[in-house]
Structure 1
Amino acid sequence: MRRHRRAKIVATVGPASAAPDRLKTLFLAGVDTFRLNFSHGSHEDHAKVHAAIRALEREVGRPIGILQDLQGPKIRIGTVRDGRLELVAGETVRFVLEGSEGDKQAIPLRHPEIFAAAAPGQDLLIDDGRVRVRVVGLEADALTTQVITGGVISNRKGVNLPGTLLDLSPLTAKDRADLAFGLELGVDWVALSFVQKPSDVMEARALVGGRAGVLSKIEKPQALDQIEDIIRLSDAIMVARGDLGVEIPHEDVPGRQKELVRACRLAVKPVIVATQMLDSMVAAPAPTRAEASDVATAIYDGADAVMLSAESATGQYPVEAVAMMDRIIRSVEGHKLYRSIVAASDPGEEETPPHAVATATATLAEAVHARAIVTYTTSGTTAARVARKRPAVPILALTPNLATARRLSLMWGAHSVHTGDVDSYEEMTSKAAHCAEQEGFATRADLVVATAGIPFHTTGNTNNIRVIQI
């Protein structure tokens, strides 16, 4: 079962997509990795979905990635009287640390770190920036604010403090319990929400202990200030444009997206572009032209994957949304300008022998018109190094590690196959030819180019290239 595209699709599972038959339909439509959003749903719900995806994986004989997305320290107001308050521009309202059902003079905000970090003149954004208030008075347990942009606020709406570093761990008590549960299930990726600094990633890595890939969601401006270290410590990155677009100006988001995709490609780390990509398909069977262009832009930028959120989780047209995203990706990758645009965004070379060998592999494969590049990889590093070049030739990633095969379902261009290990050069050659033919990449007399690290069973030691005729 081969995808005729390079970029991958991540789809969020929710009420509209959790049934086993619907998961299969979504996979057949194009989903490569399923996202379990732990901001919603019970452990029992997620366990059922996980089991259904693993059963589907056995049925179709293809590795499928599962991404656990932790809620993180999302800041929210408490409950308000009658469930809603209408704030009018110019009026004064108060937020209090302690309190239950509040009115305009006692809106509950049970986050001490907000009161510790807030300062007069600072803005608080509520409900994704729809309502804006400015701090005019500060007490130990209360904030007096003036409404700058009015609107209706309701229970549990989110609060953002643009440009403020909050003294928060990226992992709440709920996140730690969810993480332990997800690792016990056997998720392939763990996504950290609201990462602010490199130590946040280090804290999570210590808890994960190598049992899953650690993916940092970039949705805080503070993360952008130390992005190189955050990328270096992470196994993958998500450009989470929702909260990021609340905290930085809207017009800055596209440029930041391009910077992040380029930086991840340079660092050989997968990058997902997410949030509102086909948002109108939550309630309509087709996207807007602007949304189709948005997905296309991410593909032209060279992103490894694009993601559906509400479109597949709660929308009325989840299968149609996946199919549309698949069609957009294939159309872009087949466009006459695609190769030149992707080549122009090449981040340059890292001056190490393994990267040089991977670059030479991609160049050689294109020069001899090979039908595939076959990579032998234990950790996924060899396949990632080749994918970094965004070659025109498909990448067939062979690995004896099932966890690696599943994680590679997020990697640009990688068609991963879980296979037995090889112990000799001759066995490598034979298996590369057999798998290329078996997986539908090549037929008799075709050429493939294989790359691996020798001696075998070592990690990250890409040092050998072989041209093989089927």
Structure 2
Amino acid sequence: MRRYRRAKIVATVGPASSSPEMLKKLLEAGVDTFRLNFSHGTHDDHAKVHAAIRALEAEVARPIGILQDLQGPKIRVGTIRDGKLTLKAGEKIRFVLSGSDGDQMSIPLPHPEIFAAILPGHELLIDDGRVRVRVTGLGDDWIEAEMMVGGVISNRKGVNLPGTVLDLSPLTAKDRADLAYGLELGVDWVALSFVQKPGDMIEARGLIGDRAGLMAKIEKPAALDQIEDIIRLSDAVMVARGDLGVEIPHEFVPGRQKELVRACRLAVKPVIVATQMLDSMVTAPTPTRAEASDVATAIYDGADAVMLSAESATGSYPVEAVGMMDRIIKATEQHKLYRSIIEATRPGEEQTAPHAVAAAAADLAEAVHAPAIVAFTSSGTTPARIARKRPPMPIVAITPDAKVSRRLCLLWGAHSILSDDITTYEEMVQRATATARSEGFAKPVDTIVIVAGIPFAQAGTTNNLRVVQVGEG
């Protein structure tokens, strides 16, 4: 199950891909981490998929990551009389908190937190931005607005508020129940939807602890205003371009994507680029050229992973979509300009001993033409620090912790190995050379670089660097 690429693939599981047979095909095609979208499906559905992935993991004897994606607070209009309203630009409308008929001057919006936070001049985007209105006046339980972009408002359509920070927990009652269930199953990552502020991450962390990695989904403009603190409080980040692209202008999304990828690389946090990456492959066996270019751009940006959503969950060509993404990543990483672009976006060196050792390992491995860097880790930090440099050779990440080995399936360049703990320096060298050889990364004549923290099994102590010849062993 060795991958001949550095960036990882995340695939969403749904009706098109939930059978054990299809999960195996997707894994063989290139999936590194599976996403369970808790916006859809029952707990029983997700439990069956989780069990099938863990059975597959045992069969192939390789760690497989599982990401639980929570739905988050979805804001929607209520029920409209006759099911829908067709409105033109310039028309006046009114939203009301409760007790409405659902006509033009009493559109139900049953979310008191909106009425408490919204101000004149703020915008409401309805149905993924197809309808735009601007607030002109408000009271305790009503909002008057003018249609900026006309269209149809129908029952239960979603509402986005790009300029309004709501006093709203990112964890609904459904999310809390889903989270408890996911942690009980043993998911490796939990993705928090509609993060607005650092406090949202602190709230989620209080519930999750260290039982799973915490991932912030960036899809609100408010999150961009406090992004450094949000990244610092997360274990990973998802650039969720769907809702983000509704709430900020389309032309700003590519630049924001680059900023987020760079900020995460600087902070040593894995970052996923997601949404509509190969969207036409939901219904067609090949993507558009623009979609192929979009995936390649995320790879040139230095993203740790790229994600498939409907393409693998409900599409007609899930295996083909994974295979296509795998080929695009490989072709991009092998392109003659790739290394120069990655080097040009390298963040400055962190002024700490662990970061310096990791950076030196990457530079040393390149200088001696090592085919691999072997990193021993108890928390995943050592390989992450090495990956920050985006070295040209793979990082063989050896850990005794099954949870850590699965989380590393999201990290750029990491080939995750679950192995017994080591206790001595000699054992470290022997295990590193034997693993590099058995996993096909090195031959007896090769020289490899080994990075570890001493004392062993102590998190965060990247302090030891060793160059060894693999030998016959």
TM-score, normalisation: structure 1: 0.98
135-144 or 368-377, larger mean C-alpha shift? 135-144
CA deviation map 1:400-436 (0-9, x unaligned): 0000000000000000000001000000000001111
Report the Cα distance in structure 2 between the residues aligned to 1:100 and 1:67, rounded to whole angstroms: 40
Give the match for residue 254 of structure 2. 254
Alignment of 1:397-436 (within 5 A): 397-436=397-436
Secondary structure, counterpart of 2:273 in structure 1: strand
CA deviation map 1:338-360 (0-9, x unaligned): 00100000011000000010011
Structure 1 residue 99: deviation in Å? Answer: 4.2
Report the Cα distance in structure 1 between the residues aligned to 2:228 and 2:376, rounded to whole angstroms: 28
Structure 1 residue 101: deviation in Å? Answer: 6.9
Correspondence 1:78 to 2:72: no
Give the match for residue 327 of structure 1. 327
Aligned amino acid, residue 112 of structure 1: P
Q: Structure 2: where are the runs of 5+ without partners?
A: none
Structure 1 residue 292: deviation in Å? Answer: 0.8
Give the match for residue 19 of structure 1. 19
Give the match for residue 454 of structure 1. 454
With over 3 angstroms needed to count, the CA separation of the structure-2 counterparts of 1:64 and 1:99, relative to structure 1, is: farther
Structure 1 residue 249: deviation in Å? Answer: 1.5
CA deviation map 1:411-464 (0-9, x unaligned): 000000000010000000000011111111112221211110011111110111
Alignment of 1:376-395 (within 5 A): 376-395=376-395
Structure 1 residue 156: deviation in Å? Answer: 2.1
Report the Cα distance in structure 1 between the residues aligned to 2:280 and 2:79, rounded to whole angstroms: 29
Correspondence 1:204 to 2:223: no
Secondary structure, counterpart of 1:217 in structure 2: strand
- For the 8 Å contact 2:16–2:314, the answer to whether it is kept is yes
Correspondence 1:118 to 2:118: yes
Give the match for residue 4 of structure 1. 4
- For the 8 Å contact 2:16–2:315, the answer to whether it is kept is yes
Report the Cα distance in structure 1 between the residues aligned to 2:160 and 2:282, rounded to whole angstroms: 25
13-22 or 416-425, larger mean C-alpha shift? 13-22
Aligned amino acid, residue 233 of structure 1: L
Report the Cα distance in structure 1 between the residues aligned to 2:166 and 2:415, rounded to whole angstroms: 41
Give the match for residue 220 of structure 1. 220
71-80 or 353-362, larger mean C-alpha shift? 71-80
Structure 1 residue 468: deviation in Å? Answer: 1.8
CA deviation map 1:118-157 (0-9, x unaligned): 2223211011111111222312222222221111233322
Structure 1 residue 260: deviation in Å? Answer: 0.8
With over 3 angstroms needed to count, the CA separation of the structure-2 counterparts of 1:79 and 1:27, relative to structure 1, is: farther
- For the 8 Å contact 1:311–1:318, the answer to whether it is kept is yes
227-236 or 127-136, larger mean C-alpha shift? 127-136
- For the 8 Å contact 2:117–2:164, the answer to whether it is kept is yes
User: Superposition RMSD on alpha carbons, in Å?
Assistant: 1.2
Give the match for residue 36 of structure 2. 36
Aligned amino acid, residue 169 of structure 1: S
Report the Cα distance in structure 1 between the residues aligned to 2:331 and 2:72, rounded to whole angstroms: 36
Report the Cα distance in structure 2 between the residues aligned to 1:187 and 1:164, rounded to whole angstroms: 33
- For the 8 Å contact 2:122–2:163, the answer to whether it is kept is no
Secondary structure, counterpart of 2:156 in structure 1: coil
Give the match for residue 51 of structure 1. 51
Secondary structure, counterpart of 1:18 in structure 2: coil
- For the 8 Å contact 1:78–1:101, the answer to whether it is kept is no
Give the match for residue 156 of structure 2. 156
75-84 or 316-325, larger mean C-alpha shift? 75-84
Aligned amino acid, residue 105 of structure 2: Q
Alignment of 1:53-72 (within 5 A): 53-72=53-72
Report the Cα distance in structure 2 between the residues aligned to 1:380 and 1:270, rounded to whole angstroms: 11
Aligned amino acid, residue 322 of structure 1: V
Aligned amino acid, residue 67 of structure 2: L
Give the match for residue 180 of structure 2. 180
Structure 1 residue 87: deviation in Å? Answer: 2.2
Correspondence 1:346 to 2:346: yes
Aligned amino acid, residue 421 of structure 1: D
Secondary structure, counterpart of 2:95 in structure 1: strand
- For the 8 Å contact 1:78–1:100, the answer to whether it is kept is no
- For the 8 Å contact 1:79–1:100, the answer to whether it is kept is no
Structure 1 residue 100: deviation in Å? Answer: 7.0
Among the aligned pairs, what percent are the same residue?
75
Aligned residues: 470
CA deviation map 1:280-313 (0-9, x unaligned): 1111111111111111010000000011111111
Give the match for residue 467 of structure 2. 467
Report the Cα distance in structure 2 between the residues aligned to 1:380 and 1:8, rounded to whole angstroms: 16
Structure 1 residue 77: deviation in Å? Answer: 1.4
Alignment of 1:234-273 (within 5 A): 234-273=234-273
Correspondence 1:363 to 2:339: no
332-341 or 106-115, larger mean C-alpha shift? 106-115
- For the 8 Å contact 2:88–2:147, the answer to whether it is kept is yes
Report the Cα distance in structure 2 between the residues aligned to 1:226 and 1:386, rounded to whole angstroms: 26
TM-score, normalisation: structure 2: 0.97
Secondary structure, counterpart of 1:273 in structure 2: strand
Q: Structure 1: where are the runs of 5+ without partners?
A: none
- For the 8 Å contact 1:405–1:418, the answer to whether it is kept is yes
Give the match for residue 90 of structure 1. 90
